């Protein structure tokens, strides 16, 4: 099994690379792309939330309690006074971060139902709901956040399965098959409860017509394909012909790479600068 640091690093990098597509397609703002990356990074560590008495589980519960407490705080900010909101924040943070963690580990088992695809779908729906109803983002961004959560979650499960293969001894460990699974077949009661939670979460998700209209648009995929490579082959704004001239000059012994880019001053006219006409 990969450790917490590996999951967080791989999940964050993968989510950041995926977020570059949304930036290139101009479907999200710069602030929203950060939120999407965070959603993917959080999803990449959530499957280990059921690790009992582990540092990674405590970290996950801490940030989950912090995240949810602020969500509730902002959603009720216009209904209560400042002191009431502070009291609400403390109660939710302590309730989730300590009591919630205590009772959760009483019933949860590592690599149980939370280490399955059905749990990934539940958290994806929950993320879309939170972004739409609490963060007040549009349906496209909300579903993108849910998709990033799903993506990060699946990255975690796949990475754990990869770690179940010992490539040095070319053998498969006993943990193989316990990380990436659709449901927890060893506990059908927990899988059934998670299935019900998925259905309930789906019923409160934001409308998805606009989201599918955007991601299913042929024009946007053609645009992204054209954006994969620099226009006219000019990498980082450097003319391709200039690079060929540099290579030819160096290989023929005509100079170094530094002098190859120097302008041919002998062919440039000398004298004073032309007079600039005033508008």
Q: What is the pLDDT of residues 174-205, one digit of tens each?
A: 556 667 888 888 888 888 999 999 999 999 99
Evaluate if pTM is beyond 0.85: no
User: CA–CA separation, 79 vs 82, rounded Å?
Assistant: 10
Higher pLDDT, 261 or 192: 192
Predicted confidence (pLDDT) at residue 265 exceeds the cutoff of 50: no
End-to-end Cα separation, the chain, in angstroms: 70
Give me the mean pLDDT over the 71-94 stretch: 80
Whether 50 and 115 have beta carbons less than 8 Å apart is answered as: yes
| CA distances to 31, 215, 271, 274 from 277, in Å | 44, 51, 18, 9
Greatest pairwise CA separation for the chain in angstroms: 88
Predicted confidence (pLDDT) at residue 45 exceeds the cutoff of 80: yes
Predicted confidence (pLDDT) at residue 77 exceeds the cutoff of 60: yes
Output b/e per residue, 89-99; b: 16+ Cβ within 10 A: beebbeebbee
Whether 110 and 51 have beta carbons less than 8 Å apart is answered as: yes
């Amino acid at each position: 099994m990969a450790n917490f640091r590996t999951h967080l690093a791989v999940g964050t990098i993968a989510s950041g690379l995926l977020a570059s597509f949304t930036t290139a397609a101009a479907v999200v703002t710069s602030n929203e792309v950060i939120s999407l990356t965070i959603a993917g990074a959080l999803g990449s560590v959530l499957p280990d939330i059921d690790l009992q008495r582990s540092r990674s589980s405590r970290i996950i519960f801490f940030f989950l309690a912090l995240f949810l407490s602020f969500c509730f705080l902002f959603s009720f900010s216009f209904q209560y006074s400042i002191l009431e909101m502070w009291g609400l924040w403390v109660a939710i943070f302590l309730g989730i971060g300590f009591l919630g963690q205590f009772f959760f580990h009483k019933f949860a088992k590592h690599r149980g139902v939370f280490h399955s695809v059905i749990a990934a779908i539940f958290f994806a729906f929950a993320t879309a709901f939170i972004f739409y109803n609490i963060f007040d983002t549009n349906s496209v961004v909300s579903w993108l956040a849910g998709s990033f959560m799903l993506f990060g979650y699946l990255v975690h499960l796949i990475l754990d399965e990869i770690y179940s293969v010992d490539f040095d001894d070319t053998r498969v460990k006993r943990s193989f098959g316990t990380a990436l699974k659709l449901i927890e077949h060893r506990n059908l009661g927990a899988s059934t409860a998670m299935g019900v939670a998925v259905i309930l979460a789906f019923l409160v998700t934001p409308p998805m017509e606009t989201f599918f209209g955007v991601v299913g648009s042929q024009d946007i995929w053609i645009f992204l394909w054209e954006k994969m490579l620099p226009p006219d082959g000019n990498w980082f704004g450097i003319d391709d012909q200039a690079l060929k001239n540099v290579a030819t000059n160096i290989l023929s012994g005509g100079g170094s790479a530094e002098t190859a880019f120097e302008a041919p001053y002998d062919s440039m006219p000398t004298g004073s600068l032309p007079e600039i006409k005033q508008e």
